[in-house]
């Protein structure tokens, strides 16, 4: 099969590999599309270096093929799989989705939402799942601020918070304002023109690496901060210190300061399927690249040239 092959951090080429064989609890997917997000860039480059220490491969990547978000058709079933059959259309996560075939654990799969293309479905799992998990507990009428609202996680954050009945404010750069409004944000701030104002019951922080002090000033006295991630923290720890400081401070303040470690779970992806089929969430796919241009797709996300989501089609 054709695949993007990555033997060491920082370089990958289009090559040929054997089609993988599904093991216990796994299925073989004929991949139709693969999602791209900042995590794809992190796993391609091995940066921040903290990633290598926490289990993604010290000297080189554990998976020889990049890509985790996937949509496709089940083409073979491993032992012990009752949830899916050959021919089912699915979305989820796996190792090595930048390839014509990939093996996925069934625990990380859900059915593809009716009415979505494979390209759109591949844009759902990681970013949509992260936003959904970050917004757990939001109540109708609460005020939610989404920082990085024009990005992958943020574009779902705006829509999911609206679907939960919140009043949503999005913060993004000038060229993403229209997108964020179209996703349903009640208010939008262009951070290049000045800082946002107001206080919020929940801040979903997906971009900008603002200080904890600034983020706490944006919260009501019992508000919740959800640190999702930022890209300005340096190549050693990627800004993880901010999350550690939030965890250390959390027991001593009335606000709830949390760092999100989103889980890749089929039941979460299935919740997203239900929201998508109900019409309250729609993937904002900006660009699709063919498999031979997968590295351009990653660069497009890394350099923030995309708005919303980028996918690779196979």
By CB under 6 A, name the binding residues for ligand NAP: 37-39, 126-127, 130, 147-148, 150-154, 171-173, 176, 191, 206-208, 228-231, 260-262, 301, 304
Cβ proximity to ligand NAP: between 88 and 240 the closer is 240
Cβ proximity to ligand NAP: between 207 and 266 the closer is 207
Q: Which SS3 state, helix, strand or coil, does residue 206 take?
A: coil
Question: Minimum distance from CB of 28 to ligand NAP (Å)?
Answer: 26
- Strand 101-105 and strand 26-36: the pairing is antiparallel
Question: Minimum distance from CB of 279 to ligand NAP (Å)?
Answer: 23
| H-run or E-run covering 245 | helix 240-249
Cβ atoms within 10 Å, residue 207: 25
Question: Minimum distance from CB of 218 to ligand NAP (Å)?
Answer: 12
* CA distances to 36, 141, 162, 233 from 202, in Å: 27, 12, 13, 23
Q: Which SS3 state, helix, strand or coil, does residue 232 take?
A: coil
Question: Minimum distance from CB of 167 to ligand NAP (Å)?
Answer: 19
User: Two tokens at 195?
Assistant: 């800082």
Task: Name the residue whose CB lies closest to ligand NAP.
Answer: 151
Cβ proximity to ligand NAP: between 5 and 276 the closer is 276
Phi-psi sector, 178: left (phi>0), alpha (psi -120 to 50), beta: alpha
Cβ proximity to ligand NAP: between 291 and 307 the closer is 307
Q: How many CA atoms lie within 13 A of 119 on its CB side?
A: 14
Q: How many CA atoms lie within 13 A of 76 on its CB side?
A: 12
Cβ proximity to ligand NAP: between 74 and 122 the closer is 122
Question: Minimum distance from CB of 22 to ligand NAP (Å)?
Answer: 26
């Amino acid at each position: 099969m054709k695949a993007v092959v990555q033997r060491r951090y920082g370089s990958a080429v289009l090559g040929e590999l054997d089609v993988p064989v599904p093991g216990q609890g796994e299925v073989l997917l004929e991949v139709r599309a693969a999602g791209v997000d900042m995590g794809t860039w992190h796993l391609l480059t091995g940066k921040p270096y903290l990633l290598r220490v926490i289990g993604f491969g010290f000297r080189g990547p554990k998976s020889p093929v990049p890509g985790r978000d996937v949509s496709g058709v089940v083409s073979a079933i491993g032992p012990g799989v009752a949830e899916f059959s050959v021919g089912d259309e699915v979305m989820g996560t796996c190792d090595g989705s930048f390839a014509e075939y990939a093996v996925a654990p069934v625990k990380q799969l859900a059915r593809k939402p009716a009415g979505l293309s494979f390209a759109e479905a591949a844009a759902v799992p990681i970013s949509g799942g992260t936003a959904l998990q970050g917004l757990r507990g939001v109540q109708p009428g609460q005020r939610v601020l989404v920082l990085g609202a024009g990005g992958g996680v943020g574009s779902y954050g705006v829509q999911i918070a609206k679907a939960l009945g919140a009043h949503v404010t999005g913060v993004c750069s000038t060229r993403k304002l229209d997108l964020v409004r179209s996703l349903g944000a009640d208010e939008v701030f262009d951070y290049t023109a000045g800082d946002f104002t107001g206080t919020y019951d929940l801040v979903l922080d997906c971009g900008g690496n603002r200080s904890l002090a600034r983020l706490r000033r944006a919260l009501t006295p019992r508000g919740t901060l959800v640190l999702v991630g930022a890209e300005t923290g340096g190549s050693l720890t990627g800004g993880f210190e901010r999350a550690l400081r939030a965890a250390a401070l959390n027991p001593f303040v009335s606000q709830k300061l949390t760092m999100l470690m989103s889980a890749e779970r089929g039941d979460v992806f299935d919740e997203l399927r239900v929201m998508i089929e109900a019409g309250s969430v729609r993937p904002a796919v900006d660009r699709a690249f063919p498999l031979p241009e997968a590295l351009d797709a990653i660069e497009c996300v890394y350099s923030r040239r995309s708005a919303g989501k980028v996918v690779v089609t196979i």
